[in-house]
Structure 1
Amino acid sequence: MARTIACDAGSGCTADELTSASAAAGHVVQRCLTDGPVGRVGLEVEAHCYDLGDPSRRPGWDELTSAIAALPPLPGGSAVTVEPGGAVELSGPPLVDAAAAISAMAMDRAVLRASFAHAGFGLVLLGADPLRPAARVNPGGRYQAMERFFRASGTGTAGAAMMTSTASVQVNIEAGPASGWSERVRLAHALGPTMIAITANSPMLGGRFTGWRSTRQRVWSQLDAARCGPILGASGDDPASDWARYALRAPVMLVHRPDPTPVAGWVPFADWADGRVLLGNRRPTTADLDYHLTTLFPPVRPRGFLEVRYLDSVSDAIWPSVAFTLATLLDDPGAADLAAEATESVATTWDRAARVGLRDRRLHRAARRCVAAAAERAPAHLQESMEQLTRSVEQGRCPADDFADRVVTYGVGGAVTQLAQGEL
């Protein structure tokens, strides 16, 4: 457990100062996952924002915040935020199950699209911006500091693309009963390559085809694996300890002094906690550790619940079925058993899934079985979306193939404009 230290007068320490790496590890383990039933689901959907009159122009911060201020109340209760590059994110509250979360998010998406269209903006659901160069518009101090950190660490190009040119659909699920954590976290990782192949929707970045179906996943793979790689240890039998080990080995990105300041050089959090290195001329606090965890971006991130972060942003026609599929494969015992078997041979093929999508025979076979299992369990209001996803998977096509065809026919500017105007 993380412990606090009692401070003598004049000692200079603080009440929540961490005394060692082992104390930091205990703090992480204690808060990693929450024991409880499965069922509740939360969704986050990011969309690139385009000027309907000039899709090559990136709307500015004042324009975006004005459009958000003009929004009517959102019926599903989502929060609205702006990503560093101007992508607009809806973050829905956790609801009783996937179907409820999807219905609420769909209502909020409809209100958001209509209001932004009235302001002259279109919201495009793609995994990466296919048209505009990377550029930050959010002036937040955290993002300024992250930008400097990536440049100093030699990953400036990938870091800028990650922050300002990528978008995802994130599915948040409960950790479930403690007795099943290891199997649940292993399955969430094992599903990664198959779900990446199903949702790959970013064949272009900055005006060029990259040769990858999911350029978003490629961008993440170009960043530091200690910060962005999977968290599982050799066995995966103790995900809480795996996460603590991962977090303490990861280099510190930002320190508050009091504003976020990038850390020059490679300083694992464990070294700071053990006092081998002092950042800001001090030892870390539990608040520093909690903030450090927010600068780690593994494909599955424990936050009491599980954040599943590896999906490309996909169209309004299929994100509901994608979200339902992933939640079902993790929360329904029968579907989970089938998914574990179906994905066993492709559980670590992250790069191949991002590069070729469903053209890989083994990934295609796993995808067909997983989507079919979800389709059998889908409620009536998701049937249309599930049928469209099932058809695409059966044909071995991912969304990137459809977008690439559109670009070949209309050009990248024309394709983006069509999507921004709501044309399917």
Structure 2
Amino acid sequence: MNTPLRRIVQWSSTLKISTLSRFHKQQQCRSMATAKEAAPRSTIHVLGSGSLGLLMASSIRRSNPTNPSAVTVLLRPHHKERVLSPRELRKVFRQPQGAGFVPPPQSIIVALQPYSNQIKSANIQLIDLSAQLIGDESTSDQPYTEIKTLLLTTKAQDAVAAVQSVLPLMDKKASRIIVLSNGALAIQEHLASIVHPSTSIVLASTYHGAHRGINEQELARLQLSDSQRQYLYPLVHAGLGYTYVEKGHDDVVQILEEAGLRPCALPINEMKLMLWKKLAANCVINPLTAIFKCRNGALLITYQIETAWKTLITTNKANKKEIPWETCQDLMADVIKEVSTIALAETRHMTDIDVDELSPERIHLFVQAVISETAANHSSMLQDIFAGRRGTEIDFLNGYIQDIGKSKHGIQTPANSFLCSQVNQLLQTNNSNVNIL
């Protein structure tokens, strides 16, 4: 990590900007959740096998060692070779399990490095997760449990298709989809048109950080063979945050509390307020880090970003395209102003929230705080670009601001539209060999 970015990471530990008095509310909500009597529970199904989905599922499974059906991960057919029966699990992983351990009928193995606030990393744990293959004709006759509670953790651009693939498995009497993906506000609108009337769509958000880049030296301590390693889903719980769920789902809050995911139930309007601010942060961080091939914290290193910005202006001029923003900071300010304008238009009917939270000034402070707190991270959009994926979440972030601004409010959003076009251009080029700032 370069020296300026290291300073940003160090500084981030001192910059604490609260949203909705987040930490105070968290303490209040946690005490309320633990005081409630246990609610009836059903299996939690997790749709999305990326870092967030595996973190949610692994955390719930760790808190339920004797109940393998507490959580089930839904997987696409290409995971089939890594799904193990109890017999295969015993054959491949011979080490003894903890007292009272009960294996699931089918499982995948997550090599989880739990969060640690110490210099020394936490020891890696092998977690067996109940797994169910979906979308494969060869597995259509396998037994399954109807989905009552679905945690949606996919990429935003994959969310609607992913949910469509499991609609036949949803409980027709009563079910719910808890949307934890980026772009939850846009996803909610899309899902509302395809789900059964008895299915409720629940807004949620998490500030936990996770990634798949587990330390090889730490993994070596497990002394696993190559044949064992091929089954592993490596996962690092890199950042301890909070998880917010729309109020009215106490059983889910309690499950997340027991799993150590620090949940808080928020009234729907406060939930939307938080999601608008998170959307603003994503509209700045994701496209700009993808365009400049940089970690999040580099956006606070002005000279690096402005140098890259001048290069971008020169390139566009060569292609006879004028950029109206003299500096990248000007562009960022306009992105935030546009999100603020649309957010205020969308929430104008809400009487029980502090609309000042959606002012450009407050949102700007929030975005800066998020950048500093995630300074060392590679944004999900940057990862998509480097991986050569065919799409990104841009349509559910800046594209969402552009679309509802024009269609619902007659408001032009040139800064967000510009970032959409720049990211879509990136998808047409080879980005695999570009160095990160």
Q: TM-score by structure 1 length?
A: 0.29
- State the structure with bigger RCO (CA 8 A, min sep 6), 1 or 2: 1
Q: TM-score by structure 2 length?
A: 0.29
